[in-house]
Amino acid sequence: MFLEQTKYRFLGRSDQEKGVPQPPLELPTDPTLTVLDLPKPAAIVIPPADLRAAIECRHSVRSYAKEPLSFDELSFLLWCMQGVKSVHGTQATFRTVPSAGARHAFETYLLVNDVDSLEPGLYRYLALTHRLQQITTDPTLHIEVARACLDQQFVMRCGVVFLWTAVPYRMTWRYGERGYRDLHLDAGHVCQNLYLAAEAVGCGVCAIAAFDDDAMAKILRIDGINQFLIYLATVGKCEPDRE
């Protein structure tokens, strides 16, 4: 029914076509919360990685070594999956991944379990300035997230969980209801970049689409309607026999 009703012949004029101002490129930061600078992408030294080898080796990994990710590695992974290459006024961002109409409707959250220089807890990636905003340092949050992921225990044993939320109006402002199709396509682009980039830093990734929407919205402090979780992925250092 969704696919049928989002065919172009059923769509009216979009808000963009009506002259409605577009939504901001990124959600505002909370001035009461700490913001941390990330290492600049150009300054991070990453071992050369062969693209064909990365594609051939890519598979989901649910078992991780007891070794933290470095702060540089986290910065590199964030850049690869949502990095902003250029900003065009208030109209658009061009990033390291494709997005329908350059709308880039995602906000990236991180559940940090084991990353050098970061306290465990929940963070939000500020892509426009390549920084992190610290939301909470609750050391038990990984238990809640694992429970909300239908008790997938490896969520608690990874170094970090990437959580992508969609701000749908950023997409539907231009494409109407059909924009919801684009959100799900874009989620695949982002996650695949993470899978391939992780190969370069000796990490494994496992994408997760099974989660309790309402429970995750509560954890992330979002309303689940104007912003909702669309996809997440665990990341951790590979066991020695995997390398």
* pLDDT, average across residues 176-196: 97
Domain membership flag for residue 133:
yes
Q: List, in sequence order, the alpha helices (H) in the chain.
A: 2-5, 51-57, 71-82, 141-148, 169-175, 179-200, 213-220
> Residue 239: its pLDDT value, please?
87
How does pLDDT run across 19-43, given as a tens digit for each residue?
999 999 999 999 999 999 999 999 9
pLDDT score at 67: 96
* Confidence grade of residue 241 (pLDDT, cut at 50, 70, 90): low
Q: pLDDT per residue over 39-85, tens digit each?
A: 999 999 998 889 999 999 999 999 999 999 999 999 999 999 999 99
Q: What is the pLDDT of residues 72-110, one digit of tens each?
A: 999 999 999 999 999 999 999 999 999 999 999 999 999
**Residue 92 near residue 22 (C-beta atoms within 8 A):** no
Six token digits for residue 168: 């749908």
12 domain-assigned: no
Total count of domains within the chain: 1
Query: Is 21 part of a structural domain of the chain?
Result: no
Q: Which residues on neighbouring strands pair with residue 203, listed in sequence order?
A: 237
pLDDT at 139: 86
In a domain, 208, yes or no: yes
Task: Say how far apart CA 89 and CA 63 lie, in whole Å.
Answer: 43
Q: 13 lies in a domain?
A: no
Euclidean distance between CA atoms 89 and 29, whole angstroms: 18
**Amino acid at position 224, single letter:** G
From residue 124, how far is each of 6, 28, 165, 179 by CA, in Å? 31, 11, 10, 24
Q: Which domain holds residue 114?
A: 34-39+55-87+97-240
Sheet arrangement for strand 203-208: 35-37, 131-136, 121-126, 106-112, 160-166, 228-237, 203-208
Residue 208 belongs to domain with CATH number: 3.40.109.10
Structural contact between residues 211 and 229, judged by C-beta atoms closer than 8 angstroms: yes
> Does residue 17 form part of some domain?
no
∠ Cα 142 145 150 (to 5°): 130
Residue 162 in any domain: the answer is yes
DSSP 132-170: EEEEE--TTHHHHHHHHTTS-GGGGTSSEEEEEEE-THH
Whole-model pTM: value is: 0.95
Cβ neighbours of residue 86 closer than 8 Å, sequence gap 6 or more: 93, 94
Is residue 242 pLDDT above 80, yes or no?
no
> Do the Cβ atoms of 186 and 230 come closer than 8 Å?
no
pLDDT tens, position by position, 109-158:
999 999 999 999 999 999 999 999 999 999 899 999 999 999 999 999 99
Q: What is the pLDDT of residue 243?
A: 45
What pLDDT sits at residue 87?
96
Residue 23 lies in a domain: no
